[in-house]
Every structure is written in structure tokens, then in C-alpha cells.
Amino acid sequence: MSFLSECLKLPNPSKPLKRPKHPKLVKQLNNIYNMKDFVVGMGEALWDILPEGKKIGGAPANFAYHVSQFGLPSCVVSAVGDDHLGKEILDNFTSKGLNQLISVVPYPTGTVQVELDEAGIPMYDIKENVAWDNIPFNEALEGLAKKTKAVCFGSLAQRNVVSRETINKFLYAMPKGEDNLVVFDVNLRQGFYNKEILTNSMERCNILKINDEELVTVSRMFGYPGIDLQDKCWILLGKYNLKMLILTCGVNGSYVFTPGKVSFQPTPKVEVADTVGAGDSFTAAFIASILKGKSVEEAHSIAVRTSAFVCTKKGAMPVLPSDLTE
């Protein structure tokens, strides 16, 4: 059982849990009952096996970690196996002070073989039938959902019916306030998606994040060929009654569409180490900034600069400089 799940199920918050391994857990335990308005990354937690070694990855974990660097209470929801790789993930998240509701299930911890092309763009070989395909919905997860202000999920974790149903139950259990943010970060990977999953996800979200290549794929699937990218974005914004649609176009910049208005930011020129996790850091910085009261244009600028910084570092979870997070 995860630390956070134990906290959420405690009948009396004055009674501490006996978890001596990690001193940081004590501080988290003392504060957990006063925490609300969680920002949750939900889905895959795994190891990216990179040319230089393994690094913790998975879009939801990357998202939650970067949100926490902006000072907001975040949590990653996933599942790992009862194995060494799973224990390493739990210990790593704990050492980072990242709240986690991660179930241990009888499947191997997820791994992804990542190879970088000449431009530093990652290519993924995502192993199937792993722990994060089988995230259970339980009382603790329902309790977290009721305390969630924003959630980010993608298409990949919905490739298996178990995790797909858990994500949908979580979204249903969340508060339905106008200010709550439900972010669908499309993240198409290796054909692990279909029209039904994409349609349901776009209907459930109020913020859609998609890149230019994914937009072309989605447009073909939904019958929007032959019109330019911005027109396709306006169509999706209106059809699914979205608050915002975020379109990232790599070196060609990024856009944030809101009803009647669009923000554009060019992509900064930096020396790229790799782009693993850059998109997740963009999403995290943008959502955290919106929740902290920044305008769309301000949040967009912070997101672009955050993503550019992550591109200069190896791996998906570098420590962000204070000039970005404060």
C-alpha cells in the first residue's frame, strides 16, 4: 500500500503511521489531512531505458514531479510490480517528496526502451502487460479524486481496460466545479489508441494538449483533412466545449487556443541534450501557472521556458531553476 493511500484511509489524523525508512514521510503525514486541491498525474510510471542508463519516466510522473516544483500539492497515481524496479520507483519518488498513490500489483514494473535519433528525438519501445496497465480503483483513490483540483491523463495508460476504467472512475469522482481542470495530454504512442478512447477522453476533458503530428493523426481519424492546423484546433475547441487547447509544434513554436483568442510563443533556441519529458514539463508548468493565477499568456511563456530548460538536460526530471518556479 502506498504512503498516500494509508494517509487518506486513516480514521484519525492524529495517529502517525509507523514508516521509519523515509524521514520525509513524517512531514508529509503531518500535512496530508490539511492538503486539498491536489494536482494529479495519472497513468504510467516506468523506467526509460536510455543509451546512458535508466531514468524514471512516464508522462504522469513527469507531470506530477514538475508541478511539485512549482509549489503545488501534487500526486502521481500509477502501479508498479513487486520487484526491484518497482521499489526503486517508490523510493525515488519518496526521496523527491512526491506524493504517490501507487499500487503494487502482480505484474512487472513498466519499462520503455528509448533510443534517440540524430536530432535527440526519442523513439520508444513500450513493453506491454505491465503494472501500470492494471491500476486498481480503490477507496484511497476515490478519496484522492474528491480532493483533486486538476488531473492530467493520456491515451497510453488507457490501452488496457483495467487502467482505462480506473481513470474514468477517478474523473467521475472529482469535484465538478467550474475551476477544476481535466487535462487530456494526448501522447499517442505505438498505436496504443483508437477513436473510441480519444473521443471519450476529449469529451471528459476541458483542456486538450496535442502536438502537430498527433493533430494530423487525429484529424485523419475524425475526418478533418485538408484544412490547416489552426482551423483544426478551432474545430476541436468548439466541438468538445474546451476551456483551452494547447498545440505544440516543436521548433515551430506553440499555441494556446481559448474561445475567441489564441496565444503564440516561439520555441527558444537551446543546445538540446534530449527531449524526453519536455512536453510533460510544458504541461506541468502551464497548469501550475494557471492554478497560481497567471494569465494564459503568462502561463504559456513560463511553460515554453520550462520545456526549453528540460531539453538541455538528460532525462525527464531535472531540478528546475528558481527563476522558473517562483
* 282-313 residue pLDDT tens: 999 999 999 999 999 999 999 999 999 999 99
- The alpha carbon dihedral of 114, 127, 306, 304 has a sign of positive
- pLDDT score, position 23: 54
CA dist list (Å): 63 to 154, 161, 259: 11, 23, 25
74 DSSP β-pair partners: 39
Strand arrangement of the beta sheet that strand 122-126 belongs to:
53-57, 46-50, 110-116, 122-126
pTM of this prediction exceeds 0.95: no
DSSP category for residue 42: E
Q: Does domain 3-325 fall into CATH 3.90.190.20?
A: no
- Whether 265 contacts 304, CB under 8 Å: yes
pLDDT in tens, the chain (326 residues): 444 545 444 333 333 334 434 555 455 444 445 678 999 999 999 998 878 888 888 889 899 999 999 999 999 999 999 999 999 999 998 988 889 999 999 999 999 888 878 877 778 789 999 999 999 999 999 999 999 999 999 999 999 999 999 999 999 999 998 899 999 999 998 889 999 999 999 999 999 999 999 999 999 999 887 789 999 999 999 999 999 999 999 999 999 999 999 999 999 999 998 888 899 999 999 999 999 999 999 999 999 999 999 999 987 888 999 999 98
**Residue 11: how many CB atoms within 10 A of its CB?**
5
Q: Return d(Cα 101, Cα 94) in angstroms, integer.
A: 11
pLDDT digits (tens, 9 = 90+) for 137-175: 999 999 999 999 999 999 999 999 999 999 999 999 999
Q: Return d(Cα 75, Cα 170) in angstroms, integer.
A: 13
Domain boundaries, the chain: 3-325
**Residue 9: strand, helix, or coil:** helix
**C-alpha distance across the termini of the chain, in Å:** 33
- pLDDT score, position 196: 97
